[in-house]
Amino acid sequence: MSGIEKTKLWCRAEQILGEKIDEDTWDYAREQLGNACVDENDDVDAEFEDYAEDYAGIARNAMEYFAKHARNLALTVSGENWPQEDLESVDVGAQIRDDAARGLLNELEKARAGALGAYYAEIAAQEHAALFRETYLEGGWLPVDQAVKFIDSPACRLLSRRQFEELDIPYTGHRAEIREEKVLDNNLNIARLAGIENTVVPRQVAVSLWVDPPGRTVQVEVTKYSRLGRFGDSFGFESLEFREQGGKNRRVVTAVSSVLYELRTLARNLSETYGLNYADIPLFVLSGQQPRYRPIEFSDAYGDVARGTITMRVDPWVAPETVCRAYRRAQRTALGRRCRAISERIIKLFAFVVERGEPHGRDGRWLKLFVEWNNNCLDELNKDFPKEWDYSSPRHFQRDYRQRAKLPLVERRYFESAYAERMRGRHFGRRLR
């Protein structure tokens, strides 16, 4: 902890969260909720508890976000620890959301979901998965351990079907090893010199791949993507997520047009068409393992503006009570805490600050806004600002704006991305000069 003494608020947030909050995460939460908005050693009361829950929620979201992306930090072809940005958010947290949604079903709904999963899996196996197996597995199934080797093979992750045929490489039973990688272009340096940040830059990479049979080294050119960030450059491919036998999801990188990329595309299509769990499908296609069915799916999505939405896809036979429970859970995930009722005072406060231009950081205009607000409340002729709406201090005024009025509306993923970039820069020391 670098010798820093924890405050009461910090300790209480850890109790609510049920785990330790490291210094970086706590500083991040304080920045998002306003460093000056709360005395972290105040006496514990109902208001203090609200603060602690908000801080714990922000810390939880930040740590979960980084934990999901931390798996990508080591996702490379050769095993070097290049930080990798997840360029497609569709798969992020799929296991967590799927498990959470399934836990909301009652016993009868679980039984029906299981029966539907078996029904749709049979259709998918006959109409879609069979074609993939005929092409790559001679129509048969692979034992689970062989299926995992197929997914982990660098040859399957890098080479296309045409390259397998031209080089006379069997799809299963081969050995493959990355011997060397070399970047062929200068796109990243050009983007850096141009001052471009948070931009995905395509890069051509030459890979030396040893494969047996035929027992030779193959030269392959593939495309990687670098995201030029303020705290460091992330470097990676597309990826396939699959659920291992132990129940955990794992990702492997895959080049576009490769054999494994075709499996990834098939998995996404079957998941969208039949509602089967995306991470279950790779082993379902290769070894026939039964995939799970998702009668409820939910996710929080954000656009380019500071506006968040919750998207739910629900089978029509699911009980309304189950849908209500699912929405409450999705809402808590999106906000990072339980949803509190929005008062007229908070709505008025948000409009009041926005109309006058939101100050940033420790801008002195917060004090001016506080004085103007209280003057309106003390003006008996101003019926739009009741007297009981006044604030006792600028700190409470700023806190309510940040935590009550603005926070539920802001783009949480933007904050979490900044946190992930900070943590990535700390771990890898890849700072832009």
Together in a domain, 353 and 259: no
pTM for this model (two decimals) = 0.66
- Of 50, 74, 98, the residue that ends a domain is 74
- Mean pLDDT estimate for the chain: 75
Domain, as residue range, for 29: 8-74
319 to each of 104, 107, 316, 333, how far by Cα in Å? 11, 12, 8, 21
Strand duo 199-212 + 175-183: pairing: antiparallel
Question: Comparing C-alpha atoms, which of 34, 31, 273, 255 is closest to residue 263?
Answer: 255
Beta bridge partners of 240: 252
- Of 58, 74, 90, the residue that ends a domain is 74
| List of E strands, 161-215 | 175-183, 199-212
- Domain tally for the chain? 3
Buried b (16+ CB within 10 A) or exposed e, 80-107: eebbbbbeeeebbbbbebbebbbebbee
Contact 282, 151 (CB under 8 A): yes
Contact 129, 284 (CB under 8 A): yes
How does pLDDT run across 63-95, given as a tens digit for each residue? 765 555 444 433 334 433 333 333 233 333 344
In a domain? residue 53: yes
Together in a domain, 146 and 231: yes
Together in a domain, 124 and 68: no
In a domain? residue 144: yes
In a domain? residue 97: no
How does pLDDT run across 348-365, given as a tens digit for each residue? 999 999 899 888 766 678
CA–CA distance, 1 with 191 (Å, rounded to integer) = 37
In a domain? residue 184: yes
Compute how many other C-beta atoms are within 10 angstroms of the C-beta atom of residue 423.
24
Buried b (16+ CB within 10 A) or exposed e, 402-414: bbbbbbbeeebbe
Together in a domain, 22 and 119: no
Contact 34, 399 (CB under 8 A): yes
State the DSSP string of 68-81: HHHGGGG--SS---
Together in a domain, 112 and 245: yes
Together in a domain, 114 and 65: no
Does 250 score more than 70 pLDDT? yes
How does pLDDT run across 128-175, given as a tens digit for each residue? 899 999 999 988 899 999 999 999 999 999 999 999 999 999 999 999
- Residue 102: the pLDDT is 56
Does 415 score more than 80 pLDDT? no
- Residue 17: the pLDDT is 80
In a domain? residue 89: no
- Rounded to the nearest angstrom, the gap between the alpha carbon of residue 2 and the centroid of all alpha carbons in its chain is 29
Does 379 score more than 60 pLDDT? yes
Residue 2: pLDDT band with limits 50, 70, 90: very low
Q: Give the DSSP letter of residue 241.
A: E
In a domain? residue 326: no
Residue pointed to by tokens 């004085």 = 371
Both structure tokens of 57: 């929620």
Beta bridge partners of 298: 312
- Residue 42: the pLDDT is 60
